[in-house]
Structure 1
Amino acid sequence: MTRHGYRKAEDLPETLAVFPLTGALLFPRWSLPLNIFEPRYLNMIDDAMSGSRLIGMIQPVSGDKVHPKLAGVGCAGRLTSYSETDDGRYLISLTGICRFRVGQELDVKSPYRQVAPDWAPYAGDLTEPDLSNLPDRSKLASALKKYVASHSMEVDWDAVESAPIETLVHALSAGCPFVPMEKQALLEADTVAARCRALIALLDMDAPGDDSSTLQ
């Protein structure tokens, strides 16, 4: 099965508009809702809607608010939901298609930034993932229970037990309050299984000690 008609890396565009946003992760086969209100990004959505409908989500990695350095890897999403509010905002959803490595940032006249993406390292994102060697769901659930014991988080435990494992891994990777570098490591994990193992490790790192009574 292919992702929205993209069968291979060569089917993807050579130029990609990017939206730098700290902490916002988009994964292949994962949906990310966004509220767009800055003029430059409204312009970006207009251009995407009339073009490839692809936007690259990427984290900034410096404190420069005007022109921050971009992380080396992002994920392209296709605009799959779009509506406009009375006050001129766009409410959109991106569906993750394929990760990319930033080949170079382009010198452009558009108000938003654009890059030359290198799709080849993540061409496997365009096909269904191999989920055969994932850690047991029970290991992930156990790590999550310890993690929420030290954070003010509400968890739908029925969903933890029943959601497709890839959906669960992506929901927790995107939703847990990890620092940007940790989220970037989750994005760059080679496979869903590797991402799941990294997620369990991060949950365990920030868990309370064994004397926590909340798990007894």
Structure 2
Amino acid sequence: MTLPRGMQSQDLPGAVPVFAVAGAILLPGGSMPLMVFEPRYLALVDDALGAGRLLALVQPREDEGGTVPGLHEVGTLGRITAFGETGDGRYLITVAGVCRFRVKAEAEGRAGYRRVRPDFLAYLDDLAGGDKGPVDRRALLAIVHTYLAGLGMATDLAQLEKADDADLTTRLAMACPFSPDEKQVLLEAVNHAERCRLMTAMIQKELLMESSGSSIH
């Protein structure tokens, strides 16, 4: 798992534009393709391309609580690593996760998009790849295969087996169809081992609910 250009703490911005995406999280070391079509986010990408290619992904929240109304308190700084433009004016970008942060305050917005002031202090270990402790990958892979097969989603277990523990948990946390609240819990997990345990428990609960529902009928 390699972070883009080995960014260091002194490279982290004091304010960052926010791409608010419900049900999607970006983890450090992971990457996410995004199709951009809203005018405010097209402007955001234009500005980011001229300012270090940095932006933040933060999940919106339904209530107005939290430090910044309408946004969860933890998000991820990302860096645009690929950019393309479609014939109808949309952008297709790939964003690589750099470091998580707590939202400290809202900064002045620009061109219709929001900006926040991030506090990276609690997550600086992300810059070095985070905690490298062992995860129960065998149990996770087995239950993920069962879960996704039940949803009709194919899994390339051979490819996942090749991934190291950090890459495995990052990929699955970002790709599996968990709820927005569950995704936020996974984003805020303190390390890969906890993220693995949480995913396993979430899937076990979902499979149990499906099994109970089937038995009723």
TM bin, normalised by shorter chain, reads: 0.7 to 0.9
Quote the residue 1:129 is aligned against: 130
**Matched-pair contact (CA < 8 Å) for 1:146–1:204:** no
- CA RMSD, 1 decimal: 2.3
**CA–CA distance in structure 1, aligned partners of residues 11 and 176 of structure 2:** 33
Quote the residue 1:145 is aligned against: 145
Quote the residue 1:190 is aligned against: 190
TM-score by length of 1: 0.87
**CA–CA distance in structure 2, aligned partners of residues 121 and 130 of structure 1:** 13
The total of aligned residue pairs comes to: 207
Quote the residue 1:6 is aligned against: 7
Quote the residue 1:22 is aligned against: 22
Cα displacement (A) at 1:3: 4.6
**CA–CA distance in structure 1, aligned partners of residues 144 and 106 of structure 2:** 38
More helix by share: 2
Quote the residue 2:103 is aligned against: 102
SS in 2 for 1:71: coil
Gaps of 5+ in 1: none
Quote the residue 2:76 is aligned against: 75
- Is 1:200 the counterpart of 2:162 in the alignment? no
Identity of aligned residues (%): 41
**CA–CA distance in structure 1, aligned partners of residues 186 and 3 of structure 2:** 23
SS in 2 for 1:43: helix
Quote the residue 2:164 is aligned against: 164
Quote the residue 2:39 is aligned against: 39
TM-score by length of 2: 0.87
- Worse-matched range after superposition: 55-64 or 197-206: 55-64
Quote the residue 1:87 is aligned against: 88
Cα displacement (A) at 1:149: 5.0
Cα displacement (A) at 1:109: 4.2
Quote the residue 1:111 is aligned against: 112
CA-to-aligned-CA distance 1:163-183 (integer Å, 9 cap, x gap): 333222122212211110000
**CA–CA distance in structure 2, aligned partners of residues 148 and 28 of structure 1:** 24
Gaps of 5+ in 2: none
Cα displacement (A) at 1:108: 2.9
**Matched-pair contact (CA < 8 Å) for 1:173–1:186:** yes
Q: 1:50 to 1:38 in 2, by over 3 A?
A: same
